[in-house]
Chain A
Amino acid sequence: MTQALLEAKAVAKHFGGVKALRDVSLSIREGEVYGLIGPNGAGKTTFFNCLTGLYIPDGGGFTFAGQPLRADAPQQAAQRGIARTFQNIRLFGNMTALENVMVGRHVRTKAGVFGAMFQNKATKAEEAAIRQRAMDLLHYVQIEDRADDLAKNLSYGDQRRLEIARALATEPKLLCLDEPAAGMNGTETAELRELIVGIRKDGTTVLLIEHDVKLVMGLCDRVAVLDYGALVIEDVPAVVQKDQRVIEAYLGA
């Protein structure tokens, strides 16, 4: 059995009286594509935000790669190897596509102010490496011909790809995608699916929040279903699809 990369233990989060997450426990194994689905308002994005340090959970916690994840600041989560994209795309709009990905390299590089001021050899070499790696990643997500365009001028599908490239630039062990197929047409979804399959093949574990049930069921190794902030079931797609509670949650009782 493969080792668990991420383990969530009884994670809870409430906003005032609203219990957004009720003791959610799940585990993501290394190298799999893990789907997280549920109706609107089920707590999927809240779970994401707790995991990536944007929210501090009110109860429970995470174990990542064998060690407790004390993600009280998002940059620490990125440092540990958890990268994410956002449901409503958050790019650096007035920077070029290439620069967006180069920013993603920040956490794995170290040139400081004095390096920048004196332009010493190490800084120059690092800068060239950052640029090269960023170009490679743009090529990987197939938008290298848009490298010098401002991110805000990219098409919707390309922005989604750019966000994934930026997340990959941080060299994550776990890549969290928040509804990457939202608003995409059939062709774009199929391309995205190919991209995610490629990312997994290259050794990155993927956590996928998605509304598109067909995409999730076809792509994911295992799926968890959230409803009203609670975990309904965590299993392989074939089992989840037939589960009575899941059908109820989606279609109404």
Chain B
Amino acid sequence: MKNWLTPKSTAGIMLIAVALAALPFVVGMAGQAWVRILNFAILYVFLALGLNIVVGFAGLLDLGYIAFYAVGAYAWALLASPHFGLHWSIWAILPIGASCACIAGIVLGSPTLKLRGDYLAIVTLGFGEIVRIFLNNLNAPFNITNGPQGITLIDPVSFGGFKLSGFTPIFGFPVSGPQKYYFLLVALAILVIIINLRLQHSRIGRAWQAIREDEIAAKAVGIDTRNLKLLAFAMGASFGGIAGGIFAAMQGFVSPESFSLIESVMILAMVVLGGMGHIPGVILGAVLLTILPEALRYGVGPIQKLLFGKQLVDPESLRMLVFGLALVLVMRFKPAGLWPAPERKRELAEGAK
């Protein structure tokens, strides 16, 4: 790797850091609801980058990714709520949630090792639904998940005595719950970005890419495709599990409804729309696909009033319509995604003749 800490890049990083730190307070002026939306955007960045390991790096089409998110969310909900009367610490729950999701990833991965493309997509889709239906029905004979009612009063994230929910005065300035979560989420997102970047340019990352490009050739040069595919599933799932835990703590409530197929599709759309396998693209996809529907939700009503003097179409239904159209257009005109990996051009290295 080149020496990237030049004065220019340091200034750039500082600028981004200041912008990231100020963002929740600027957005907070428009209302805490927008900070919450911002938080979800970052949570989806985290999820999309987790899925990017499976879909973008290893090329395994996974339509059931939300199942791992659900496993992580329920792990947190069960271990930190009055439902079982347990209130464990985050340092115990997050690793447990991630491990459960990781095991779920291996359980899903092992029977699907020989499947590719469409066939793999169908099996993973089924797996995602199985998990959701389990969560829906595991309230009898023993009440584990509380069924469709979900689990309420989940503990927020807290470090020692410092809770991330509710207002806390910091230097006499009230900082809201979502604003505090924002910083946790940004820290996690930066972590997952670094891990993604490092994996991509490593021995493992190259082997994944080789499997994606040509599985038979990958085997012929001695790559153990079975273990590496399982590794991709396990890693992607672990990130999903961590995101799920934070989601449960942030919302204070989980129910199986949050983990439907459309959620898996959305996360996959973020990866594909942004630019599969290209980390900045995936981040862009996740942010756009979270912010855009919300912006439409708030924007469609007033625009109609302005144009026609009254509201003709329900914003909720129009939202999905516009959203779907946007997806079709992007795939038609930028099939590689909004921000695909640039074709690496040959660089004239000094040493090469």
Q: Which residues of A contact B (CB under 8 A)?
A: 52-54, 73-75, 77-79, 83-84, 86, 90-96, 99, 102-107, 109, 111-113, 115-117, 119, 123, 126-127, 130, 144-150, 166-167, 169-170
Contact = CB atoms under 8 A, between A and B. Distances in A.
Contacts of A146: 346
Contacts of A166: 221
Nearest to A78: B222
A92 B217 contact: yes
Interface of B: 195, 198-199, 202-207, 209-210, 213-214, 216-225, 231, 235, 343-347, 349, 352-353
Contacts of A127: 202-203
Contact of A123 (B202, B213, B218, B346): B202
Given A91-B214, A106-B210, A113-B235, 11 more contacts: A74-B216, A75-B225, A90-B214, A105-B203, A106-B203, A107-B221, A113-B204, A117-B195, A130-B203, A145-B353, A147-B349
Nearest to B213: A92
Contacts of B219: 53-54, 73-75, 78
A83 B221 contact: yes
Contact of A148 (B199, B204, B345): B345
11 contacts: A75-B224, A77-B222, A78-B220, A90-B214, A91-B214, A93-B214, A99-B209, A106-B203, A147-B346, A148-B346, A148-B347
Contacts of B198: 116-117, 119
Contacts of A99: 206, 209
Contacts of B223: 75, 103, 106-107
Given A75-B225, A127-B202, A113 B231 contact: yes
A92 B214 CA distance: 6
A47 B46 CA distance: 48
Nearest to A167: B221
Contacts of A117: 195, 198-199
B205 A116 contact: yes
Nearest to A90: B217
A93 B344 contact: no
When A and B form their complex, which 5 residue pairs have the shortest distance between CB atoms, in order from nearest?
A: A78-B222, A107-B222, A116-B202, A92-B213, A74-B219
B221 A103 contact: yes
B206 A102 contact: yes
A156 B224 CA distance: 28
Given A92-B209, A95-B210, A96-B344, A104 B221 contact: yes
A28 B224 CA distance: 27
B199 A113 contact: yes
A86 B217 contact: yes
Contacts of A149: 346
Nearest to B228: A106
Contacts of B231: 113
Nearest to B205: A116
A92 B198 CA distance: 20
B233 to A, nearest CB: 13
A103 B346 contact: no
A104 B218 CA distance: 9
B207 to A, nearest CB: 5
Contacts of B235: 113
Nearest to B343: A150
Contacts of B221: 78, 83, 103-104, 106-107, 166-167, 169-170
Contacts of B349: 147-148
Nearest to A176: B220
Contacts of A95: 206, 209-210, 213
A16 B203 CA distance: 40
A106 B220 contact: no
Contacts of A52: 220
B99 to A, nearest CB: 15
A167 B218 CA distance: 11
Contacts of B353: 145
Given A113-B199, A149-B346, A106 B206 contact: yes
A99 B222 CA distance: 15
Nearest to B227: A75
Contacts of A102: 206
Nearest to B200: A116
A149 B343 CA distance: 9
Nearest to B234: A113
Contact of A106 (B222, B344, B347): B222
